[in-house]
Amino acid sequence: MNAIPDDTRQMARIRQRTQALSEEYYSAYQGWFGRGQQVISDADARRVLEAARGELRRLQEGQSAGRIDAPGAATGRLQLLDIAENVVRCETVSGPLKQEIRHFMVDIIPEVMLPGSGYRYTQDWFSYHEGMWLAHFGSLAGRPGLRFLEIGSYEGRSACWIAEQLLTGEGSILVCIDPFSGYPDQESNFDHNVNASPDTGRKILKLRGRSCEVLHFLPAGEFDFIYIDGSHAGLDIMQDAARAWGLLKQHGIMVFDDYGNTKLPVLSGLAVKPAIDAFLGRMDGQYDVLFKGFQVAICKH
């Protein structure tokens, strides 16, 4: 019998590891790592990351549509994780890009590597901000009776973090507003995540609906902290900001997400940053800026 050439054996091994992934991705993967390539440029690493993101979306869509079963999707995620780890190990990849890849890995890890963690997340729009939030708002932890409001909760990632890290004082609560209608499994994942720990579940109150339908039911001047991360259409942001301002206590804190995100589409003729700037300009003199970057945080006088 002929000996299998090393290259073919290596290819067969890789194929076995990547079989839940698409042919297209597999071919690209083969090109990147198939020949035991140790040197990878930032441009290549970014292509791997973008392709892996696309694959993750494909797995999620396939799973929601019933084309891929849960174990198949979990295997695919593990393989993506494996590929990302390969890239992160390459010494030639720059620090910031490695950091971005690690965030991508964090998105995958909770479901496949840490089943005991109990969370079901498909996106991570929040962990980048945790350090900043701890530095600025960490002193709220332990205070009793805090009232937080979040507009836009998705699967509860930011909500769970807030509940676990900041709402640790007796009787502190978070109200979450979201229509829960835009993404498959969004609401069931939210319910699962906030109830993953009974301590978190009892602090979170879910209000299903768009902010414009729900905010006017809430008591004026009663909230210590409002996080605006719902609709990204300019006019909606201005309305959310104006309504939320009335709900905020004196010395309350308001945080807007995506202020510095230049990659968002312009909706309703107004981008996120100009919409927030319009609100901030109108309220000038009535708040202090705590920080302004990708997010902006203000404290009401």
Q: Which residues bind to ligand SAM, rule: CB under 6 A?
A: 125-126, 151-154, 157-158, 177-179, 182, 210-211, 229-231, 236
Instruction: Evaluate whether 237 touches 276 at the Cβ level (below 8 Å).
Output: yes
Q: How far is the CB of 300 from ligand SAM (least distance, A)?
A: 21
Contact residues for 254 (Cβ-Cβ < 8 A; gap 6+): 225, 226, 227, 228, 241, 244, 245, 248, 287, 297, 298, 300
Nearer to ligand SAM, 151 or 253 (CB): 151
**Closest residue to ligand SAM: CB criterion:** 152
Nearer to ligand SAM, 45 or 298 (CB): 298
Q: How far is the CB of 146 from ligand SAM (least distance, A)?
A: 18
Residue 169, classed as helix, strand or coil, is coil
**For 28, how many CA atoms within 13 A lie in the half-sphere containing its CB?**
18
Tell me the two tokens of residue 159: 């909500």
Nearer to ligand SAM, 83 or 276 (CB): 276
Q: How far is the CB of 65 from ligand SAM (least distance, A)?
A: 20
Nearer to ligand SAM, 95 or 182 (CB): 182
Q: How far is the CB of 273 from ligand SAM (least distance, A)?
A: 16
Contact residues for 198 (Cβ-Cβ < 8 A; gap 6+): none
Nearer to ligand SAM, 60 or 158 (CB): 158
| Pairing state between β 173-178 and 147-151 | parallel
Tell me, what DSSP letter sits at residue 47?
H
Q: How far is the CB of 267 from ligand SAM (least distance, A)?
A: 10
